[in-house]
Structure 1
Amino acid sequence: MTDKTDQIKGKVQETVGKVTDNEQLEAKGKAEEIKGKASEKADDLGDTIKEKTGELKDKVAGVFNKLVDKVDGKD
């Protein structure tokens, strides 16, 4: 399931648990919702890390190329 699906499913279970006074179902729903939110945050963090790693790689390559140009006298 997707992260959002887990969150929605969890919210529905939680609500049904509250309405039917089923604490176990309510707790299961809360856990499912938290799982979906945590997974979504982890995915977001992974995307941010990839983005920042790419930016850092580009900066390092730029500095390296400038140094090579200086050494080669192309400055």
Structure 2
Amino acid sequence: MTVFKAIDDEPRTRDELAADLGFDAEAVRDALDYLEEAGRVERDGDTYRVNEAFSRTSTLRSSPRRLLARVLVPFRL
């Protein structure tokens, strides 16, 4: 699992991510800094969450048609 996917499931702190994913704390910090600069994650105090515009779960919830299109991708010829 990646840092981005882990916080898309639920917001977490850097330390929680490092412990849960088994990554070095410095590597998690670097990944979160990069994702934050790119606008993909947002920080609220010590907690990081995926920006709603990039969230897999909010995107699918907001558009059933988009969900259906994603499900059918493997079946397109």
User: TM-score, length-normalised on structure 1?
Assistant: 0.27
Larger-Rg structure: 1
- TM-score when scaled to structure 2? 0.27
Which structure: greater helix fraction?
A: 1
> Greater strand percent: which structure?
2
